[in-house]
Structures are given as C-alpha cells and as structure tokens.
Structure 1
C-alpha cells in the first residue's frame, strides 16, 4: 500500500500538463482547448477522490 500513497500525485502532474496544453491551444487559436481543460478537471477530481479513499483505507486499518 506504500506506493499507492504516491500515485495520487500523478493525477496532479497530469492536471498541470493538460492545463498547460489547454493554455497553449488557446494562444494558438484552436477550439480544441476545452477537452484539455475537461481532462485537467477530471484529473484534479481523481486526485482528491484517491486522497480521500487512501485516508479512509488507512483509518480502517488502524482500527483493526
């Protein structure tokens, strides 16, 4: 379970990349930037979801 604590931060890296990609597409004048921002929002949501799930799992293991 040790490595799963660190994999949640991969979602933040994906979010930063897709936000950067979306800004670059906006500066070029492409209309495809919305997909990059949607994926970035989903990655941020997944980060917080995994973080909550990890804390819940740790609390459950401490009780036993």
Structure 2
C-alpha cells in the first residue's frame, strides 16, 4: 500500500487548480468564484486528513 503516501498530493494539486480557477473567476466578475474557493478548502482539508490517516496506518503496521 505504498501508493497511499503519494495519492494525498493529488488533493494539493486540486486545491491549487481551484484556487487559480477562483481568482480567474473573481477577475471576470463571475458569481461562481466562491464555489471554487470552497472546493479548494475541502481539498486542503482532505490533504491533511489523508496525511493523518496514512501516518496512523503506518504506525499500526509498525506495532504488528
């Protein structure tokens, strides 16, 4: 399950994309910019959640 260490970084990539998307929509005066920032916030939250989960999973395997 070594791929779990690297899949968490996909969330950071999504967050960067949606932050960029949000700023471009703000400059265009689009009403959906807030949605992009909300999705970016959720992606950042998921990054830290997955990071904690992977660490907990590794610690559990070390004990066994």
TM bracket, shorter-chain basis: over 0.9
> Within 1, Cα distance between the matches of 2:52 and 2:10?
15
d(CA) in 2 for partners of 1:47, 1:24: 23
Structure 1 residue aligned with 2:41: 41
TM-score w.r.t. the length of structure 2 is 0.98
Q: Which residue number in structure 2 is paired with residue 2 of structure 1? A: 2
Which consecutive aligned stretches of 4+ in structure 1 deviate over 2 angstroms post-superposition? none
Alignment of 1:2-41 (within 5 A): 2-41=2-41
Query: What's 1:60 paired with?
Result: 60
- Please, what TM-score do these two structures have when normalized by structure 1? 0.98
Q: Which runs of 5+ in 2 are unaligned?
A: none
1:25 to partner: Cα distance: 0.1
Structure 1: give runs of 5+ residues left out of the alignment.
none
